[in-house]
């Protein structure tokens, strides 16, 4: 008898062709609720494309996506976000000429007010979200920057802001695309620690190149090459897989 | 909130307060100037300038705050002026109802054109808005009620609410001033509303706004409609004030002129389009003796602005104060 597992996200035969080139080919993904699941693989393996498919920024050529028991394959990206499946982007996604506070508040505004179109009201009604926004900003260590424009933040802080903004939506599941890319040691440690903390009562699926971060954080790892799943399991299993060692770990990461 | 207990919020108030103080001062100066101006300058010139200023403000709402470049805003301005003129002259409606008729027309066209254009980005968006506007220009040229090349002339100003005779320029001036200020304040409110915040976020990073669960196309469509509607208020008011609706107001150079006014004054600034409209109209007025050369001079100003003063007149002044 198989043990009953609580899966939050399941894909079946997820495929994306770009003009004859298969970027993602028949990927079956199973993400257990409450875990940190890493998606790794060399550049061009199709990880970002996978994220785009899961969050409906791209439509799959074939295959199915089930989130929380619900088929979301045909949904709009904004609706997927409203179901609590929220992504970040590989290239940091902040609102550059808005302050850190405003960045987080825009997410709170969506959560609390939905998509209201009240153009006749003063935006001072948004001030009631300031306290919550500031506490989220504090959580990711950005208190000192609350009033700086996002564009002025150092790179690592931008990623932290992104996470704070995402968390403002109280998502059930976070998709993080290379959260530590381009960061120095200190920032990496801080972000890894942050991910560990925010994953306490939610599910995280992340693309990550830094293998020590992957080893440290993930419960499950899926290795992708050329759009296909090469291996899956915990860190020990995956890192001992000879195919994985050859295809991925042999290159660059000793 | 008690600022003494929250150092962060004390700081938060500072930069936005500087901005708000600047805007309040600017607004007071603008209102004062517009109140005394008709005693020194032709009221007719001022009224026309206010209509164009409102038109430019409406355009600026879309490009400056929504990041959407419409290259066909003459469609809403011009068609609103036709319908307002027709309503006043042929249907005999009172001026406020005529203006409402023109405005409603612009809103409907804005909804239709916006629905088609909003799915496209950048230059494609601009091209679709231009194409639709040109199409509607030809419709205006061919239709009977517009009077073709002659336009609709001798539009009666009528009696406001059926009571106040608008024949006198000073009376008309007060009406135009009130309409202009109401439109200006509405635009200010839209920009500083919860809706305006989302619009800003979409302009800054649309995919991110989508990923936060915002249906960005609806926000853009509503912004487009609001802009078209306000352009319609401007066009209708101009038709009643100047007592004429013509092809000039619906043709593509008019769409270009409003871009020019906004750029010269300062894109994405509250007062920029107002200043730009007055500067450009004043120039056309003063330079009318040189005939066609006014277009060349306008072209030079346009290029100079784009190359040297990207922020426009108001934008450059605001930047000086920030330093
Ligand atoms: N919009 C697109 N059009 C065509 N090809 C694409 C597109 N997006 C990604 N690809 C291709 O799909 C492959 C996978 O890309 P991506 O998912 O970004 O890889 P990863 O994130 O794993 O580095 C690459 O070869 C890339 O060139
Ligand atoms: Mg990628």
Contact call for residues B57 and B229 (beta carbons, < 8 A) = no
Q: What percent of chain B has pLDDT over 90?
A: 54
User: Torsion angle of alpha carbons A52, A53, A59, A64, nearest 10°?
Assistant: -170
Interface check for B322 against chain A (CB to CB < 8 A): the answer is no
Which tops the pLDDT comparison, B99 or A4? B99
Query: How crowded is residue B298: how many other Cβ atoms within 10 Å of its Cβ?
Result: 18
Task: Give the C-alpha separation, A159 to A145, whole Å.
Answer: 13
* Same domain? A206 vs A162: no
**Ligand 1 atom 2: residue of nearest CA:** A18
Q: Would the CB atoms of B196 and A96 count as touching at under 8 Å?
A: no
Residues in chain B: 323
Residue-level pLDDT at A206: 94
Task: Tell me if A201 CB under 6 Å of ligand 1.
Answer: no
Nearest to B64 by CA among B244, B312, B236, B303: B312
Residue-level pLDDT at B155: 87
Provide the sign of the torsion angle of the four alpha carbons B200, B202, B205, B208, taken in this order.
positive
Tell me what the mean pLDDT of segment A60-87 comes to.
Answer: 93
Closest chain B residue to A144, measured at CA: B8
* Same domain? A8 vs A107: no
Give 3-state DSSP helix, strand, coil % of chain B, rounded to 5.
75, 0, 20
Last residue of a domain, one of A168, A190, A224: A168
Interface check for B185 against chain A (CB to CB < 8 A): the answer is no
In sequence order, which residues have a C-beta less than 8 Å from that of residue A124 and are 6 or more positions away?
none
B146: left (phi over 0), alpha (psi -120 to 50) or beta: alpha
* Same domain? A78 vs A178: yes
pLDDT at residue A250 greater than cutoff 60: no
pLDDT at residue A233 greater than cutoff 50: yes
* Same domain? A179 vs A155: no
- Segment among A29-33, A63-67, A114-118, B204-208 with least mean pLDDT: A114-118
Residue-level pLDDT at A249: 53
- Segment among B77-81, B140-144, B285-289 with least mean pLDDT: B285-289
**Ligand 1 atom 16: residue of nearest CA:** A46
Pocket test for ligand 1, best of A44, A176, A226 (most atoms within 8 A of CB): A44
Last residue of a domain, one of A149, A168, A187: A168
Give the model confidence (pLDDT) of B276-319 as tens digits: 999 988 888 877 777 777 778 878 877 887 777 778 888 888 88
- Please report residues of A whose CB lies closer than 8 A to that of B210: 57, 77-78, 81
Give the model confidence (pLDDT) of A134-150 as tens digits: 999 998 889 999 999 99
pLDDT at residue B9 greater than cutoff 80: no
pLDDT at residue A241 greater than cutoff 70: yes
Task: Give the C-alpha separation, B195 to A10, whole Å.
Answer: 36
The per-residue pLDDT of chain A, averaged, comes to 89
In chain B, what are the domain boundaries?
Answer: 42-250
Tell me what the mean pLDDT of segment B174-184 comes to.
Answer: 96
Range of the domain at A163: 92-168
Selected residues 141-180 of chain A with any CB under 8 Å from a CB in chain B: 143, 146-147, 165, 169
Which atom of ligand 1 sits closest to the CA of residue A18? 4
Q: Would the CB atoms of B197 and A123 count as touching at under 8 Å?
A: yes
Residue-level pLDDT at B48: 94
Task: Give the C-alpha separation, B279 to A173, whole Å.
Answer: 54
* Same domain? A78 vs A97: no
pLDDT at residue A26 greater than cutoff 70: yes
Query: How crowded is residue B186: how many other Cβ atoms within 10 Å of its Cβ?
Result: 20
* Same domain? A35 vs A106: no
Contact call for residues A129 and A107 (beta carbons, < 8 A) = no
Task: Give the C-alpha separation, B116 to B73, whole Å.
Answer: 15
Sort strands A62-67 and A7-18 into parallel, antiparallel or unpaired: antiparallel
Is the full-model pTM beyond 0.90? no
Give the model confidence (pLDDT) of A95-110 as tens digits: 999 999 999 999 999 9
Closest chain B residue to A101, measured at CA: B12
Q: What percent of chain A has pLDDT over 70?
A: 96
Angle formed at CA B27 by CA B24 and CA B32, multiple of 5 degrees: 125
- Per the structure, the count of domains in chain A is 2
Task: Tell me if A46 CB under 6 Å of ligand 1.
Answer: yes
- Please report residues of A whose CB lies closer than 8 A to that of B224: none
User: Closest-lying ligand to the alpha carbon of A50?
Assistant: 1
CA A42 to centroid of ligand 1, rounded, Å: 12
A107: left (phi over 0), alpha (psi -120 to 50) or beta: alpha
Residue-level pLDDT at A147: 92
Nearest to A196 by CA among A38, A73, A25, A11: A38
Give the model confidence (pLDDT) of A203-214 as tens digits: 999 999 888 899
Query: At A207, which CATH number?
Result: 3.40.50.300
Interface check for B150 against chain A (CB to CB < 8 A): the answer is no
Last residue of a domain, one of A168, A203, A225: A168
* Same domain? A116 vs A231: no
* Same domain? A68 vs A182: yes
In the numeric block, the tokens 């009224």 are attached to B47
Task: Give the C-alpha separation, B261 to B273, whole Å.
Answer: 6
Sort strands A173-177 and B159-160 into parallel, antiparallel or unpaired: unpaired
Tokens matching residue B304: 């100079």
pLDDT at residue B2 greater than cutoff 50: no
What is the band of B123 on the pLDDT scale with cuts at 50, 70, 90?
A: confident
- Please report residues of A whose CB lies closer than 8 A to that of B1: 127, 130
Query: How crowded is residue A22: how many other Cβ atoms within 10 Å of its Cβ?
Result: 16
Task: Tell me if A155 CB under 6 Å of ligand 1.
Answer: no
pLDDT at residue B1 greater than cutoff 60: no
Residue-level pLDDT at A191: 86
Instruction: Report chain B's C-alpha Rg in angstroms.
Output: 20
Which tops the pLDDT comparison, A133 or A88? A133
Strands (E), chain B: 159-160, 164-165
Task: Give the C-alpha separation, B60 to B176, whole Å.
Answer: 20
CA A17 to centroid of ligand 1, rounded, Å: 10
DSSP codes joined into one string, chain A: -PPP--EEEEEEEEEEEETTEEEEEEE--EEETT-EEEEE-STTSSHHHHHHHHTTSS--SEEEEEETTEE-TT--HHHHHHTTEEE--SS----TTSBHHHHHHHHHHHHHH-S---TTS-GGGGGGGHHHHHHHHHHTT-GGGTTSBGGGS-HHHHHHHHHHHHHHT--SEEEEESTTTT--HHHHHHHHHHHHHHGGGSEEEEE---HHHHHHH-SEEEEEETTEEEEEESHHHHHH-HHHIIIIITSS--
The per-residue pLDDT of chain B, averaged, comes to 87
Task: Give the C-alpha separation, B107 to B105, whole Å.
Answer: 5
Interface check for B219 against chain A (CB to CB < 8 A): the answer is yes
User: Torsion angle of alpha carbons B203, B205, B207, B211, nearest 10°?
Assistant: -110
* Same domain? A47 vs A159: no
Q: What percent of chain B has pLDDT over 70?
A: 94
Task: Give the C-alpha separation, B86 to B81, whole Å.
Answer: 8
pLDDT at residue A254 greater than cutoff 90: no
């Amino acid at each position: 008898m198989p043990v009953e597992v609580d899966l939050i996200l399941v894909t079946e035969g997820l495929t994306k062709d770009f003009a004859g080139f298969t970027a993602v080919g028949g990927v079956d993904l199973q993400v257990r609720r409450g875990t940190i699941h890493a998606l790794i693989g060399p550049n061009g393996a199709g990880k970002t494309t996978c994220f785009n498919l899961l969050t409906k920024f791209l439509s799959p050529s074939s295959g199915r996506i089930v989130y929380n028991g619900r088929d979301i394959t045909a949904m709009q990206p904004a609706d997927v976000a409203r179901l609590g499946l929220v992504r970040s982007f590989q290239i940091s996604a902040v609102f550059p000429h808005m302050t850190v506070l405003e960045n987080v508040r825009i997410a709170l505004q969506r959560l609390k007010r939905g998509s209201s179109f009240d153009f006749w009201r003063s935006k001072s009604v948004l001030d009631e979200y300031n306290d919550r926004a500031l506490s989220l900003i504090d959580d990711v260590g950005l208190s000192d920057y609350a009033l700086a424009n996002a564009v002025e933040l150092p790179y690592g802080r931008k990623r932290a802001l992104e996470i704070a903004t995402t968390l403002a939506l109280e998502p059930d599941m976070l998709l993080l695309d290379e959260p530590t890319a381009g960061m120095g040691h200190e920032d990496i440690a801080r972000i890894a620690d942050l991910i560990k903390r925010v994953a306490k009562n939610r599910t995280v699926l992340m693309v990550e190149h830094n293998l020590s971060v992957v080893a440290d954080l993930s419960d499950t790892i899926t290795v992708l090459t050329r759009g296909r799943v090469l291996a899956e399991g915990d860190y020990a299993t995956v890192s001992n897989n000879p195919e994985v060692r050859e295809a991925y770990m042999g290159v660059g990461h000793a | 909130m008690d600022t003494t207990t929250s150092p962060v919020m004390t700081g938060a108030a500072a930069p936005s307060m500087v901005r708000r103080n600047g805007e309040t001062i600017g607004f007071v100066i603008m209102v004062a100037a517009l109140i005394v101006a008709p005693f020194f300058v032709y009221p007719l010139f001022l009224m026309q300038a206010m209509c164009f200023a409102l038109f430019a403000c409406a355009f600026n709402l879309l490009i400056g705050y929504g990041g959407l470049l419409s290259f066909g805003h003459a469609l809403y301005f011009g068609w609103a002026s036709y319908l307002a003129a027709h309503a006043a002259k042929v249907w005999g409606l009172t001026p406020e109802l005529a203006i409402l008729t023109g405005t409603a027309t612009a809103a409907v066209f804005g909804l239709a054109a916006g629905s088609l254009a909003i799915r496209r980005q950048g230059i494609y968006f601009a091209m679709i808005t231009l194409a639709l506007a040109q199409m509607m220009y030809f419709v205006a040229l061919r239709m009977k009620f517009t009077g073709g090349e002659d336009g609709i002339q001798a539009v009666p100003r009528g009696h406001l609410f059926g009571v106040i005779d608008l024949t006198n320029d000073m009376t008309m001036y007060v009406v135009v001033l009130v309409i202009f200020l109401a439109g200006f304040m509405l635009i200010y409110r839209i920009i500083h509303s919860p809706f305006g915040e989302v619009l800003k976020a979409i302009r800054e990073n649309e995919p991110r706004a989508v990923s936060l669960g915002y249906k960005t196309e609806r926000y853009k469509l509503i912004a487009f409609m609001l802009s078209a509607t306000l352009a319609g208020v401007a066009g209708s008011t101009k038709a009643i004030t100047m007592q004429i609706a013509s092809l000039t107001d619906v043709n593509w150079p008019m769409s270009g002129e409003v871009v020019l006014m906004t750029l010269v004054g300062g894109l994405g600034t509250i007062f920029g389009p107002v200043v730009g409209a007055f500067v450009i109209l004043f120039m056309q007025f003063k330079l009318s003796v040189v005939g066609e050369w006014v277009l060349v001079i306008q072209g030079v100003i346009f290029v100079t602005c784009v190359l040297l003063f990207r922020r426009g007149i108001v934008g450059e002044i605001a930047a000086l104060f920030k330093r």
